[in-house]
Chains A and B, each alone.
Chain A
Amino acid sequence: MRSSAATDFFEHIGRSVECWLSAMGAAFILLAQAVYQGFTGRQNYKEIANQMALIGFNSMPIVLVTVAFSAMVLAYHTATQFVRFGASSYVGGMVAVSVAREIAPVLTAVVVVARVGSSIAAEIGSMQVTEQIDALRSLAVSPVKYLVTPRLLACLTMLPVLTVFAGLIGVAGGYVVAVFSAGVNPTVYKSSMLSLLTVRDVWGGLIKAVIFGGLIAIISCQKGLNTRGGAAGVGRAITSAVVASIIWIYIVNYLLSVLIFPPVQL
């Protein structure tokens, strides 16, 4: 009895790992196809521009609100604690570095997953279950070129743009809270920010944003293209796209943080 339960358990683990590896392989193949299609034949610039507007411009308000308030909360807690220990000269730098390295790219990506990744999976998923994807193929149009490549290009370009604006509003929000709510000297805040924030922090955050953009586009498109089973299947595809994207963003964010920002040797 016990050995049967153990076998079932290991079988379950094996199947999950197989599923996970196969999904990862399929995502890499889709990425390679989308990149190849981006360099061959006539490009659909109108669709690329549409997607850039949808992903970039339309996501701007929610991204700005999310990052501004998160940075304000960070600044509030950092300032109140640092002031207690007489370290208020580090508040500006601490907030700016955190916003540039982590808060702006990660929260922007998570908001874009919720707003855009889910809509990509829903749109492509409903096209899949209503045979519109097959119709595209029957009309000699590659679904990868027509649907995936524009969304990939739009995510790759617009995530860094959103992250830049998110970073600016985050730093501004942090400044307002630290100065007007926690009593940090504005000149000290600014000089701390300028001395601690480096170009590497900014570029590191933007590299993360580009990679997160690629992850969101490919995972959401793949989940949409693999949709089966009508309306319920579309629902499952959306949930799966959001969950998988967020998990991968967190994992990749950790790896990139370690890679781009190694510990300083004293």
Chain B
Amino acid sequence: MIRIEGLSKDFGTHRVLSDISMTVERGEVVSIIGLSGCGKSTLLRHIIGLLRPTAGHVYIEGEDITAMGDAALNRVRRRMGMVFQYGALFDSMTVGDNVAFPLRQHTSMTREEAALKVAEKLDMVGLGGTEQLYPSELSGGMQKRVALARALALEPEILLFDEPTTGLDPVTTSTIEEKIAALQQRLHPTMVIVTHHMPTVYALSDRIVMLHEGRVMIKGTVDEVRNSDDPLVQQFLQGRAEGPIKLGLGG
């Protein structure tokens, strides 16, 4: 369903991603893990065409989106939904308008039909009845759930999550994990989750891809990655300061 071949990305003279290849099968949940700044979010942005690669290709259902014009790319994007790290809700719109936005843009639903769909999606993320609130009146966790409801509005086949639980308290984190897991069981979308929060990865993933310094360090099932004898992988999974990964934090 999603196939990435030899993808590299440079920002100026700085290479952020180098020769990334991976696949995500239909209905699979793949987590992309790695240190902050290793290129996880950049990779996710390539999957939905927000960035064009310096080299390589991204195929969605066999179509190479890196060679597409805007109109064709938008046709592919309608089958995808993305939840941004900080929600990226439209702050001048109410929660209801945010969730209804893709419906108004891409369907010919009446106002009443759209309102019913919005209520259904907000119920799905546990935020029924919040249609009239503005994003600024919501907590960070609620904003991410509204962003999920908005991403679900067009019932996409592919869902992309950029750090869905980062910066949230443990209870909210568990709530969001439960919502994503329930969603997967109910609708079976293909999911790519970018995170460095390992409990989220273990709770939701079928497979894991670990990036390090812009390259694929390891990819495999959760057990394969957990049982890897690579010291770098183990240092990351266990969150240890000592090991082959050296952060230039000074001191």
B84 touches A139 (CB 8 A): no
Q: Name which residue of chain A comes closest to B79, CB basis.
A: A140
B74 touches A138 (CB 8 A): no
Instruction: Mark B62-82 against chain A: 1 for CB-CB distance below 8 A, else 0.
Output: 000000001000110110111
A138 touches B48 (CB 8 A): yes
CB distance from B144 to the nearest CB of A (A): 13
Give the CA-CA distance A131 to B41 in the complex, in Å. 13
Give the CA-CA distance A184 to B228 in the complex, in Å. 95
Q: Which residues in window 148-184 of B have CB below 8 A to A?
A: 150
B84 touches A140 (CB 8 A): no
A130 touches B91 (CB 8 A): yes
B74 touches A135 (CB 8 A): no
User: Which residue among A134, A135, A141 has the maximum number of chain B CB atoms within 10 Å of its CB?
Assistant: A135
B77 touches A140 (CB 8 A): yes
Q: Which residues in window 77-111 of B have CB below 8 A to A?
A: 77-78, 80-82, 84-86, 88-91, 101-102, 105-106
Give the CA-CA distance A138 to B159 in the complex, in Å. 11
A130 neighbours in B (Cβ, 8 Å): 86, 88, 91
Give the CA-CA distance A130 to B88 in the complex, in Å. 6
B50 touches A132 (CB 8 A): no
Q: Quick one: given A140-B105, A140-B106, A141-B105, are A135 and B78 in contact (CB under 8 Å)?
A: no
B91 touches A139 (CB 8 A): no
CB distance from A151 to the nearest CB of B (A): 14
User: Which residue among B102, B105, B106 has the maximum number of chain A CB atoms within 10 Å of its CB?
Assistant: B105
A132 touches B91 (CB 8 A): yes
CB distance from B2 to the nearest CB of A (A): 15
Give the CA-CA distance A246 to B114 in the complex, in Å. 43
A138 neighbours in B (Cβ, 8 Å): 48, 50, 77, 80-82, 84
Give the CA-CA distance A134 to B88 in the complex, in Å. 8
Q: Quick one: given A140-B77, A140-B78, are A135 and B88 in contact (CB under 8 Å)?
A: yes
A134 touches B50 (CB 8 A): yes
How many CB-defined contacts (below 8 Å) exist between A and B? Answer: 49
A134 neighbours in B (Cβ, 8 Å): 45, 50, 84, 88
Give the CA-CA distance A131 to B77 in the complex, in Å. 17
CB distance from B237 to the nearest CB of A (A): 29
Interface check A142, CB cutoff 8 A: yes
Q: Name which residue of chain B comes closest to A137, CB basis.
A: B50
Q: Name which residue of chain B comes closest to A139, CB basis.
A: B102
B86 touches A139 (CB 8 A): no
CB distance from A192 to the nearest CB of B (A): 50
A131 touches B88 (CB 8 A): yes
Instruction: Mark A145-188 against chain B: 1 for CB-CB distance below 8 A, else 0.
Output: 00000000000000000000000000000000000000000000
B105 touches A135 (CB 8 A): no
Give the CA-CA distance A134 to B106 in the complex, in Å. 17
A142 touches B80 (CB 8 A): no
Give the CA-CA distance A141 to B74 in the complex, in Å. 7
Give the CA-CA distance A138 to B106 in the complex, in Å. 13
Q: Quick one: given A130-B91, A132-B88, A134-B88, are A139 and B77 in contact (CB under 8 Å)?
A: yes
CB distance from B75 to the nearest CB of A (A): 8
Q: Which residues in window 22-41 of A have CB below 8 A to B?
A: none
Q: Quick one: given A130-B86, A134-B88, are A140 and B74 in contact (CB under 8 Å)?
A: yes
A131 touches B105 (CB 8 A): no
A135 neighbours in B (Cβ, 8 Å): 82, 84, 88-90
Q: Which residues in window 108-138 of A have CB below 8 A to B?
A: 127, 130-132, 134-135, 137-138
A140 neighbours in B (Cβ, 8 Å): 74-75, 77-78, 102, 105-106
Given A131-B84, A131-B88, A140-B102, 16 more pairs with CB closer than 8 A: A131-B86, A134-B45, A134-B84, A135-B82, A138-B48, A138-B50, A138-B77, A138-B84, A139-B77, A139-B102, A140-B74, A140-B105, A140-B106, A141-B74, A141-B105, A142-B70
Residues of A at the B interface (CB closer than 8 Å) are: 127, 130-132, 134-135, 137-142
- Give me 17 A-to-B residue pairs in the complex whose CB atoms sit less than 8 angstroms apart, sorted by A's number: A130-B88, A131-B84, A131-B86, A131-B88, A132-B88, A134-B84, A135-B88, A137-B49, A138-B50, A138-B77, A138-B81, A139-B150, A140-B75, A140-B78, A141-B74, A141-B102, A142-B70
Residues of B at the A interface (CB closer than 8 Å) are: 45, 48-50, 70, 74-75, 77-78, 80-82, 84-86, 88-91, 101-102, 105-106, 150
